[in-house]
């Protein structure tokens, strides 16, 4: 079984939130922030887009807590203006103790399959990264998995790099590199070879 089929959880980080790539939303598509009731849209999107996790309202509550004021600043949704169809989401979350430091977190990015392949994830990620910065985060991380190669390509284009902490993670990322179009970069490997500790 190859590394993509194994679908191993991996982390990526961005050391700062400067110079975020900017992509405009195409005509007919808008972005809005959470409104009460959007938790069901979040569930519906992920039920279609996420084959790996058990998606339900309990998961949404566990991940986000349900504070409408916080969510209205942090959870984004893509909408078809003509139909009102809500088809994409990402959240500008945070973690006060990500390996001992405060980080913003790009959390639960998803677009329904029927709307994938149209470049819509780029403006969504751009807006959410900028929102993290506006809300005070200086850097960001995200969790993805090796079965999500298009997502890894996207994140790498946005300046996220593998967060390698162990020799095992180094080997995982070496295997992933064979599947991604965006070079994860020799600088990435040089930087972390000297800092990781053997298992």
Give the chain's end-to-end CA distance (angstroms, integer).
22
Q: What is the pLDDT of residue 197?
A: 38
Which of 48-52, 97-101, 164-168, 191-195 has the least mean pLDDT? 191-195
Q: How confident is the model over 104-153, as pLDDT tens digits? A: 999 999 999 999 999 999 999 999 999 999 999 999 999 999 999 999 99
* pLDDT above 60 for 194: no
* 193, pLDDT greater than 80: no
Task: Say how far apart CA 176 and CA 195 lie, in whole Å.
Answer: 20
From residue 135, give the alpha-carbon distance in Å to each of 35, 94, 130, 173: 18, 10, 9, 31
Q: φ, ψ for residue 104 (rounded to 5)?
A: -75, 160
pLDDT at res. 198? 36
Q: Are the beta carbons of 175 and 2 closer than 8 angstroms?
A: yes
Place of tokens 């399959």: 113
Of the candidate ranges 19-23, 95-99, 109-113, 180-184, the one whose mean pLDDT is the lowest = 180-184
The reported pLDDT for the residue numbered 199 is 34
**How far, in Å, are 66, 77, 171, 190 from residue 43 at the CA level?**
13, 12, 34, 40
Domain residue ranges of the chain, discontinuous segments joined by +: 1-16+139-199, 22-138
Residue 195 is predicted with a pLDDT of: 39
Candidates 104, 152, 146, 155; CA nearest to 6 is 146
Residues 52-107 pLDDT 10s: 999 999 999 999 999 999 999 999 999 999 999 999 999 999 999 999 999 999 99
- Average confidence (pLDDT) over 162-172: 96
Tell me the Ramachandran region of residue 11: left when phi exceeds 0, alpha when psi lies from -120 to 50, beta otherwise.
beta
Which band of pLDDT confidence, cut at 50, 70 and 90, is reported for residue 188? low
d(CA 32, CA 26): 14
* CATH number assigned to the domain covering 22-138: 3.40.630.30
Q: Please say if the pLDDT value at position 157 is more than 50.
A: yes
């Amino acid at each position: 079984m190859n590394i993509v089929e194994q679908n191993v959880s991996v982390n990526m980080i961005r050391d700062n939130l400067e110079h975020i790539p900017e992509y405009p939303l195409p005509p007919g598509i808008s972005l809005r922030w959470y409104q009460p009731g959007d938790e069901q849209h979040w569930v519906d999107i992920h039920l279609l887009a996420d084959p790996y996790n058990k998606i339900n309202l309990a998961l949404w509550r566990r991940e986000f807590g349900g504070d409408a004021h916080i969510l209205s600043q942090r959870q984004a949704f893509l909408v078809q203006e003509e139909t009102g169809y809500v088809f994409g989401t990402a959240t500008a979350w945070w973690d006060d103790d990500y390996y001992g430091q405060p980080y913003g977190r790009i959390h639960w990015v998803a677009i329904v399959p029927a709307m994938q392949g149209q470049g819509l994830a780029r403006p969504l990620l751009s807006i959410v990264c900028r929102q993290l910065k506006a809300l005070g985060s200086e850097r960001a991380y995200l969790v993805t998995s090796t079965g999500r190669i298009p997502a890894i390509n996207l994140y790498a284009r946005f300046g996220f790099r593998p967060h390698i902490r162990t020799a095992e993670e180094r080997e995982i990322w070496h295997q992933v590199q064979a599947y991604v179009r965006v070079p994860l970069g020799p600088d990435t490997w040089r930087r972390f070879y000297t800092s990781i500790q053997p298992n």
